[in-house]
């Protein structure tokens, strides 16, 4: 009887390889790469076989995924939110949107026109952001119907580099970024190995109960207490980090034009951010969260 290493020989059994690996969670992929020499390159072989095919995932939302990514790069935009999390985790949640962050100004205006004129979306709403610390000024929601399915794309307009908005989201599991040619997961060990997520805003009823319940239902444990310094794991080490450091999971996406790829490479790579443990009290309850903030100036 063939063993697992033989069945995962992609050169001999490509179809079996694709079907078996499509069901593997990330922690099992990592575990298998550590079992024997034959499986050491399992992850890279999965990448080469298109296990993380960004164009396939984007095709639900846009007609021309490659053109969309090149346009995103040209206008210095990024993809974040639940789409980025689903892409890295290789899952697809029914009814989820595509969130694109672009800095307010001419580039954002150009991207909105692109979405309407090239991709055929209709503007559904404009919502002004309520809190300045989210780094978001306004959200434009665009809708269209494809093959009878309702599709929504949201353009999040930020008042500085869009990475600030991603880092100021409410929980670490959502701190993932997709540029034109790379995907970055900032907290991969907590998010995909331990399936845990930490608050990155002061917990209130909306982001501490309603929003976090969604991710509890999807299999993540929500950790309300930030570990003490000596117990903090590597990816949550307090102090300064940068996107693309040793704790970041960085994944190359399918090729773009050389010019677009060169531009995309510098979109977020190397951007520094600070992490600190924050505490406050409300109605006699001690609240803790992980403060994550990008350094200004990028």
Q: Cα–Cα distances in Å, from 110 out to 69, 249, 265?
A: 14, 31, 21
8 Å CB contact between 138 and 128: yes
Residue 178 has pLDDT above 80, yes or no: yes
Cα–Cα distance, 196 to 187 (Å, whole number): 10
| pLDDT grade for 268, boundaries at 50, 70 and 90 | confident
Indicate if the alpha-carbon torsion angle 60, 61, 64, 67 is positive or negative.
Answer: negative
Cα–Cα distance, 189 to 26 (Å, whole number): 10
Neighbours of 184 (CB within 10 A): 26
| pLDDT grade for 1, boundaries at 50, 70 and 90 | very low
Domain boundaries, the chain: 4-48, 54-294
Q: What is the pLDDT of residues 102-138, one digit of tens each?
A: 999 998 999 999 999 999 999 999 998 877 778 899 9
The backbone region for 18, taken as left when phi is positive above 0, alpha when psi lies in -120 to 50, beta otherwise, is alpha
8 Å CB contact between 49 and 42: no
Residue 202 has pLDDT above 80, yes or no: no
**In 137-162, which positions are buried (b, 16+ CB within 10 angstroms) versus exposed (e)?**
bebbbbebeeeeeebbbbbbbbbebb
- Structure token pair of residue 119: 């991709």
Q: How do beta strands 98-103 and 78-80 pair?
A: antiparallel
The pLDDT value recorded for residue 126 is 92
8 Å CB contact between 151 and 113: no
17-21: average pLDDT: 95
Question: To the nearest whole percent, how much of the chain has pLDDT over 90?
Answer: 56
The pLDDT value recorded for residue 22 is 94
The pLDDT value recorded for residue 102 is 93
């Amino acid at each position: 009887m063939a063993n697992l290493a033989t069945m995962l020989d992609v050169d001999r059994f490509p179809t079996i390889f694709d079907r078996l690996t499509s069901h593997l969670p990330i922690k099992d992929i990592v575990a298998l790469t550590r079992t024997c020499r034959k499986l050491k390159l399992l992850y890279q072989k999965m990448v080469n076989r298109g296990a993380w095919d960004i164009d396939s995932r984007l095709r639900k939302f846009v007609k021309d995924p490659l053109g969309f990514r090149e346009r995103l790069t040209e206008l210095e935009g990024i993809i974040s939110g639940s789409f980025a999390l689903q892409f890295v985790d290789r899952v697809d949640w029914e009814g989820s949107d595509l969130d694109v962050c672009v800095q307010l100004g001419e580039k954002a205006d150009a991207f909105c026109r692109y979405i309407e004129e090239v991709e055929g979306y209709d503007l559904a709403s404009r919502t002004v952001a309520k809190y300045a610390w989210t780094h978001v000024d306004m959200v434009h929601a665009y809708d269209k119907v494809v093959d009878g399915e309702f599709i929504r794309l949201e353009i999040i307009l930020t008042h500085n580099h869009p990475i600030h908005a991603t880092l100021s989201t409410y929980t670490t599991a959502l701190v993932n970024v997709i540029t034109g040619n790379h995907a970055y997961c900032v907290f991969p060990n907590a998010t995909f190995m331990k399936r845990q997520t930490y608050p990155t805003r002061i917990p209130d009823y909306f982001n501490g109960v309603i929003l976090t319940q969604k991710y509890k239902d999807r299999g993540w444990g929500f950790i309300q207490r930030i570990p003490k310094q000596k117990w903090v794991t590597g990816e949550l080490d307090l102090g300064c980090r940068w996107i693309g450091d040793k704790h970041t999971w960085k994944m190359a996406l399918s090729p773009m034009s050389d010019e677009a790829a060169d531009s995309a490479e510098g979109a977020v790579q190397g951007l520094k951010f600070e992490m600190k443990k924050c505490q406050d009290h409300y109605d006699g309850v001690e609240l803790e969260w992980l403060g994550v903030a990008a350094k200004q100036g990028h």
